[in-house]
Structure 1
Amino acid sequence: MVKRLISANATEILSMSATELKQSIKASEGRVILSENVAPRESYIGDITNSEMARAFGADLILLNGIDVLNPDVFAIGEYEGSFVNRLHELVGRPIGANLEPVDTSADMLEQREEIALGRQANVQTLKEIEKLGLDFVCFTGNPGTGVTNAAILETVKNAKEHYSGLIIAGKMHGAGVDEAVADLSAIKELIAAGADIILTPSIGTVPGFDKEELKEAVKLAHKEGALIMTAIGTSQEGSDVDTIKYMALQNKMCGVDIQHIGDAGYGGLAPVENIFAMSKAIRGQRHTVSMISRSINR
């Protein structure tokens, strides 16, 4: 039986299989935090990575945004041999994931499409590459204006099951420039049936009209089907005041979510560190926060 993530040492966490990591998150009972950061952007503290700062202030999982997995660039990572994922494992002792975007060129756009590099898109080549790199998880979602649709995410999940062995997170945290429902129960059920381990939905208070009742329905459906739920603050509200972050975090927890994501709209492509810390204290208290941030990655 695996140890819950919020109480596990780095050596225990990094030795977990995808199935064990999922169970470890579930056992943490809604107290897991994922911090998203822009990997290539110059960090707030210029000689250390955003990932190190996020971990130091309470992040359990690290999600890299804007990274071209075919030509990876992680600011301040320093020299390393082999996979940049292994190097980040050494630096933060936590599971590392990346966003890959299932771009739909036929999407009905609400705004001008933003073109992104092939290595940031979800395709067979990038799926094979993240398997080779050793990413612990992948997130299939869309940045603003990239034209990612629920249909494209679904097809990507199906393809990923053939080429990738890590945890799969899938869903939308906002519209990504497309005119469609962000959190749709039928889409969620299809994603789980296709192989998604964790369903991504917006946090309450982020997307207009998405409320607690809708989130509760998504949580109940995902849990019934054997998947987990991650809510995302991906609308630049990760840069709001501490009280807003705490309110969102507690409301999401009351709805039964398993992971809470905090986005990258802050100094140097990282949420303000005080907001990561505030989220941690709100959903798991002082004791577990201190345990997490002070536990040596050498254990």
Structure 2
Amino acid sequence: MNVVKRLISANSSEILEMNAVELKQSIKASEGRVVLSENVTIREPLVDDITNSEIARAFGADLILLNCFDVLAPKIYGLADESENIITNLRHLIGCPIGVNLEPVDLKAKMSENRLDISKGRQASTETVMQAEKLGFDFICLTGNPGTGVSNQQIVEAIKIAKQNFSGLIIAGKMHGAGVSEAVVDLEATGEFLEAGADIILVPAVGTVPGFDEKQLKEVVKLVHQKDGLALSAIGTSQEGSDVTTIKSIALKNKICGVDIQHIGDAGYGGVAPVENIYELSKVLRGVRHTVSVMARSINR
């Protein structure tokens, strides 16, 4: 592996040339200062003639994760393109890595709420993973939206499929229950995700799900780092729409616990977090200098 620049200091031309191993190392080298913004693609965006991804990138996001994107019927509101070049074209507009949620639905899981049925193109399968590879995504996130019935065991099976059919990074884990009656996070499941081949383990951010505290997060992060993985904390409980003070508190607590990437969800107006919260998250994690750098640095560099 070549020595790479840390993600928070690299130009778009350098970032987009990175393979999965190099991107992982670039994130690791950024020492807990990487921001991932999740965006809904099936809703009219915050500004109607541009994508939510462009908005999130402009306010400090380093990585973009597309939610509710159907890989078998690709469409992103704000981007007049429904071809197989859609992700290549979006990457050209924002100059950073792009991922997609694929949901490992478990039809046998014991549910704690009514199941929400989702399209085949949003579910994790060999077909959808191969299509994500064809579309050119930089990473896949194997997780679940509220009520979809994603289980930890089914995530393990999906990781194995992704490992065989996808060349990018694999993120795996749950940011909330996804409607299933089981622990959202436990060390045994984390170990199984890593053993199956996950590169990045997703866990809820401290302060977002009941009872998950700093001690538990530190245990998960320690295990993940011992296995040469990265840890991602997720604000996926609509608290991305909270006041700035709440965002700042969550960001600092989770950085102290040692996570490598901090995710901010899509539950704001138009399917993207309030822009001031993306900006504040960035400032807490890396200060004004690096925040201005990612906001102002031309994607043509």
Alignment TM-score, normalising by the size of structure 2: 0.98
5+ residue gaps, structure 2? none
Partner of residue 258, structure 1: 260
Determine the structure 2 residue equivalent to 1:294.
Answer: 296
Name the SS for the 2:53 alignment partner.
Answer: helix
Contact 1:185–1:218 (Cα < 8 Å) also in 2: yes
2:75, 2:82 within 8 Å by CA — same for their partners in 1?
no
2:94 matched residue in structure 1: 92
Q: Deviations over 1:50-106 (max 9, x none)?
A: 000000000000000001000011001124764211011111000000000000000
Percent identity reads 65
- Cα distance in 2 for residues equivalent to 1:180 and 1:36: 24
CA distance in 1 between partners of 2:13 and 2:182 (Å)? 42
Q: 1:97 to 1:51 in 2, by over 3 A?
A: same
What letter matches 1:45 in structure 2? V
Contact 2:103 2:122 in 1 (8 A): yes
How many angstroms apart in 1 are the aligned matches of 2:93 and 2:176? 31
The one of 265, 269, 272 aligned to 1:270? 272
Asked if structure 1 preserves the Cα contact closer than 8 Å seen for 2:39 and 2:53, the reply is yes
Per-residue CA distance 1:173-202 (angstroms, 9 max, x = gap):
000001101111011011111100000000
Contact residue 140 and residue 170 of structure 1 kept, 8 A: yes
- Pick the aligned partner of 1:146 from 148, 159, 168: 148
Q: 1:279: which partner in 2?
A: 281
**Residue 209 (structure 2) aligns with:** 207
> 1:152 deviation in Å?
0.2
The equivalent position to 1:166 in structure 2, one of 165, 168, 193, is 168
TM superposition shift of 1:230:
0.2
Residue in structure 1 matched with residue 110 of structure 2 by the alignment: 108
- Confirm whether residue 130 of structure 1 aligns to residue 137 of structure 2: no
Instruction: Determine helix, strand or coil for the equivalent of 1:105.
Output: coil
Q: What residue identity is the alignment partner of 1:280? A: S
Partner of 2:184: 182
- Find the partner of 1:21 among 20, 23, 32: 23
Match of 1:74 in 2: 76
SS of 1:34's partner is strand
Checking the alignment, whether the CA contact within 8 Å between 2:98 and 2:138 is kept in structure 1 is yes
Bigger drift between 224-233 and 72-81 goes to 72-81
Question: CA 1:81 to 1:99, structure 2 compared with 1: closer, same or farther past 3 Å?
Answer: closer
CA RMSD, aligned part only?
0.8
Secondary structure, aligned partner of 2:77: coil
CA distance in 2, matches of 1:79, 1:227: 35
Task: Return the offset for 1:159.
Answer: 1.0
Structure 1: which amino acid aligns with 2:71?
V
Query: After TM superposition, which residue ranges in structure 1, 4 or more long, deviate above 2 angstroms?
Result: 78-82
> Displacement, 1:20?
0.2
Q: In 2, distance between residues paired with 1:87 and 1:161?
A: 25
Asked whether the 8 Å contact 2:74–2:83 carries over to 1, the reply is: no
Residue-pair matches, total:
299
Q: Distance in 2 between matches of 1:295 and 1:65?
A: 26
User: So what's the TM-score if we normalise by structure 1?
Assistant: 0.99
Counterpart code for 2:150: V
